[in-house]
Chain A
Amino acid sequence: MLPLSTTRRGLLASGAAFGAAALTAGAPAIIRPAQAQALAPTDSMRGGANNYRPGAPIVQRIGNGGFWMSGTVRRAGDGVPLPGVRIQIWAHTTEGYETDAQSHGATLSDANGVFRLEMPQIIPAFGQAHGHLAYDDTAFKTVFLRPVMQSSRDKSLEADFVLQPA
């Protein structure tokens, strides 16, 4: 029995998981590498670059924390996790506007391509509780994300990057 979700994001995720499971289970070993090759790069989202500040410092935590932004970084095509990739994060939080320098910080993905940065609670601004993430270095093409929280009371937000070589 698949876990049922009533949200659009949940339905899409479970649908995608079901499809992926059906594909890999049913596929002969020989075509699997071809399937893996198909991992498409993440496109930038509309408005993702708004109030971006290039060169935000790598920090242990943005402000006093209490909220977690996390995600993964993988390579387009083969899906290999990318360690040591710098991801910049900012949002309108309980401690400042998106335009404020102290609302911005960066972190590096770990050996499994996972990043996680604690930051102040994101609150609705400009009508939606949302965060911003950026990959903006030389090795891969630049990607700006703008994920929206399902509820403004959420204590975390996730966003994944699939990067293609520049």
Chain B
Amino acid sequence: MARMRAALIWAVVTGSIVVSFAAAATSPLLAWRGPVYVVAGFAGVLSLALVLLQPLLAAGYLSGLSIGRGRQVHRWFGAALVAAIIIHVAGLWLTSPPDVVDALLFDSPTPFSAWGVVAMWAAFAAALLAALRRPLRIRPRLFRLGHTVLVVLVVLGGVVHALLIDGTMESVSKLVLCALVVATTAVALFNLRAWTVLTRRKR
């Protein structure tokens, strides 16, 4: 039963990511985009896929990876997510600078831009907090609370951003991927009892 469940998680996760990429790769919009714009778009898809994998790694839901190994991969993927977001924004900036400037200044006519920018800053802050945890000896309670609040912003902002966009992602695979992102994040936070930092009494 446990093996079935483990296999099912792997199948659903890899399936949803592979199908999302495959569907986006066949988008008719790609015919009218140059390489820089195409790479920028796929960096966005990759970001969403990484945001799905992150809670699974943090909570140890992917069988075959020990919790320690999973956390190690979680750190690498966190760095990869930051890189993917930078490539996404830089590629869009090269394609149409004024649209990206508007988005970064929260002055865009498209509502999804603001959600994406919030998710971007939250992801950068979550990664920075993780990077500074040891050098600054950030207390576990503070780290946990900060990282949790920030990743909730990443997930909410990122999912709304993706869903509102009329782009290369195919709408059904995008909806499924977004639903999985929200569900896995919620389950992981629930199982890790991420909120106990607020309710637990100080000893």
Give 14 pairs: A residue, B residue, CB < 8 Å, sorted on A.
A45-B109, A46-B108, A47-B102, A47-B110, A50-B96, A50-B99, A51-B98, A99-B95, A99-B96, A124-B166, A124-B167, A126-B92, A127-B165, A146-B109
Output the residue of A92, A93, A129 with the most chain B CB within 10 A: A92
Rounded to whole angstroms, the CA-CA distance of A92 and B98 in the bound complex is 14
CA distance A126 to B166 in the complex (A): 8
A123 at the interface (CB under 8 A from B): yes
Query: For the complex, is A97 an interface residue (Cβ under 8 Å from B)?
Result: yes
Question: Complex formed: what's the CA distance from A146 to B99 in Å?
Answer: 12
Chain B nearest CB, measured from A145 CB (Å): 11
Which DSSP category, helix, strand, loop or mixed, fits chain A's interface? loop
Contact string against A for B residues 95-126, beta-carbon threshold 8 Å, 1 for contact and 0 otherwise = 11011001000011110110000000000000
Is there a chain A Cβ closer than 8 Å to B176's Cβ?
no
Known pairs A51-B96, A97-B95; A127 contacts B102 (CB<8 A): no
Do residues B32 and A94 form an inter-chain contact, with CB atoms below 8 A?
yes
- A-B pair count, CB < 8 Å, reads 52
User: In the bound complex, what is the Cα–Cα distance between A45 and B112 (angstroms)?
Assistant: 17
Q: Is B29 an interface residue (CB 8 A)?
A: yes
Interface residues on A, range: 20 to 34
Q: Can you name the residue of chain B whose Cβ is closest to the Cβ of A146?
A: B109
B179 within 8 A of A: no
Query: Which residue of A has the minimal Cβ distance to B162?
Result: A127
Given A126-B96, A129-B166; 14 other pairs, CB 8 A cutoff:
A47-B102, A47-B109, A48-B109, A49-B98, A50-B96, A50-B98, A50-B99, A99-B96, A124-B29, A127-B110, A127-B165, A127-B166, A146-B109, A152-B166
List residues of chain A with CB within 8 A of the CB of B164: 127
Q: Is A118 close to B, CB under 8 A?
A: no
- Find out whether the CB atom of A128 lies under 8 angstroms from the CB atom of B110: yes
Determine which residue in A94, A125, A152 has the highest number of CB atoms from chain B within 10 A of its CB, and name it: A125
Q: Closest CB-CB distance, B163 to chain A, in whole Å?
A: 11
| A35→B41 CA distance, assembly (Å) | 49
Contact at B99–A123, with CB atoms within 8 Å? no
Residues of A near B107 (CB, < 8 A) are 46
